[in-house]
Amino acid sequence: MSNTVSQVGMIAPVPTQAQRVRHREHRETTRRQILDAADQLLRERPYRELTVDTVMAQTGLTRTAFYRHFGDVTDLVLRLFADVGEELYDVAERWAASAGVDYPTPGREGLAGVVDFYVRHGPLMRAIAEAAATDEEIELAYRGSTEALIDLTGGTLERMVRDGKLQVPDARALARAMTLMNNAYLLAEFGREPQGNRDVALTTLETVWLRLATPLRNSGSGGRSKGA
């Protein structure tokens, strides 16, 4: 039907395409304002202090506007985490796609991407990690994200082992240990202000990763083979 009948018997016009577009844009702008406000607050205070009122006070919008977009504070934080978690996984995927070629460039570029991610989002990731300790839904999401990174890293190291480019006792175990180490170390360095030194952190991780996952030497030439 092109028109609807109102309660008073008048014909209510159906919104035009332009009006629908403006409405969607307004909803997305409001949603982004709320997400940005929560992001900023979590960089400054712990998750336990985050409430609908504190978030909306930052935006100047009403509680009603919040509930048009989010079910509760947990839902809001999960949306934030989904955004930044996807960004981190993209960094890991780029490393995985090139690992095993032109050693050690992909490994260094991948680590640089991870460090830079924590420089940008460390305080937020720290707040989410703290929230995971008390909120079951956030814990499941946080653990799932970590396991996804471990699986991606482990699969990449196993591929390099199969290709004869790497020799480690257990690629999956190494992936778990290194991923958990990365997260703990980078949260400690960049989870709070003042943040640590980006270049020192990168050099430290390079030293650890590139020694533990160093490619095998060519049996013929004695030089390094191409690897991570």
Q: What is the pLDDT along the chain (228 residues), one digit of tens a residue?
A: 445 444 555 666 777 867 666 667 778 999 999 999 999 999 888 899 999 999 999 999 999 999 999 999 999 999 999 999 999 999 999 999 988 777 667 778 999 999 999 999 999 999 999 999 999 999 999 999 999 999 999 999 999 899 888 888 899 999 999 999 999 999 999 999 899 999 999 999 999 987 776 655 553 333 444 445
Chain mean position to CA 75: 16
What one-letter code names the amino acid at 159? R
| Alpha-helix runs per DSSP H in 45-104 | 52-59, 63-69, 73-98
Position 164 scores a pLDDT of: 86
Chain mean position to CA 85: 2
Domain residues of the chain, as ranges? Answer: 15-69, 73-212
Q: How far apart are CA 145 and CA 129, in angstroms?
A: 11
Count H helices, E strands: the chain? Answer: 8, 2
**125 contacts 141 by C-beta, under 8 angstroms:** no
Give the burial class of 4: count Cβ atoms within 10 A of its Cβ; 0-12 exposed, 13-18 middle, 19 or more buried: exposed
Q: How far apart are CA 130 and CA 63, in angstroms?
A: 25
Q: How far apart are CA 39 and CA 125, in angstroms?
A: 10
Q: Which CATH class is domain 73-212?
A: mainly alpha
Q: How far apart are CA 198 and CA 139, in angstroms?
A: 28
Q: Which of 218, 211, 216 is nearest to 165 (CA)?
A: 216
Per the structure block, which two tokens stand in for 134?
């008390």
Position 128 scores a pLDDT of: 94
Can you give the pTM of this predicted structure? 0.81
Position 108 scores a pLDDT of: 87
Per the structure block, which two tokens stand in for 61?
């919008």
Q: How far apart are CA 189 and CA 118, in angstroms?
A: 9
Position 21 scores a pLDDT of: 65
Position 225 scores a pLDDT of: 42
Position 99 scores a pLDDT of: 83
CATH, domain range 15-69: 1.10.10.60
Position 216 scores a pLDDT of: 53
Per the structure block, which two tokens stand in for 106?
């992909």
